[in-house]
Amino acid sequence: MKTSSRKTGTDKAQPPVSPVYFDSALVAKFYLNEPGRDEIRRLASRSGIVVTSGIAVAEVSAAFHRKFREGAVKKDAFDALNGQWQHDLNHRLWGLIGPTEDLFDQVRALFARLDNRVFLRSLDALHLVTAKAEHFDCIYSNDRHLLSACPSLGLEGINPLGS
């Protein structure tokens, strides 16, 4: 897994930071007031750097809108979520890896060789190939389909929320 070190304002080296890869569902859960949010925030804080695919911008925005549409959040909370999301994107709280033609080709190749018993959504496949291309050994998600497809790419899938 990737590691880096950070320096403080006094240039004293801090312990190595081990970046983690979150799928869009966990990024959304970071913001939404629902079970699991505190665990996700602690994991992100401990890791220091959280990386995800650039498609998370669309997926997280859609998740917020779904919560608003379903009545789980009121308009003022929806606006606040979107404002915080925009702020955090502007200030690069999340390490975004833009989808590239090569990653799309890797998704195509993955589906061409994937066992017919593996259920995998297209954007979850993009998360998996992005994590693999960025040399992550594991990916964090609470999506059972994404997690069950991880071995197809030699990734470890970790559900930080338990089963």
Model pLDDT for residues 13-44, shown as the tens digit of each residue: 655 568 999 999 999 999 999 999 999 999 99
Does some domain include residue 24?
yes
Does some domain include residue 89?
yes
Does some domain include residue 1?
no
Contact at 8 Å (CB) between 132 and 150?
no
Model pLDDT for residues 67-125, shown as the tens digit of each residue: 999 999 999 999 999 999 999 999 999 999 999 999 999 999 999 999 999 999 999 99
Domain span holding position 148: 20-157
What is the total count of domains within the chain? Answer: 1
Does some domain include residue 102?
yes
Query: What CATH number is associated with residue 76?
Result: 3.40.50.1010
Does some domain include residue 63?
yes
For residue 128, the model assigns a pLDDT of 98
**Using CB atoms within 10 A of its CB, is residue 44 exposed (0-12), middle (13-18) or buried (19+)?**
buried
Does some domain include residue 45?
yes
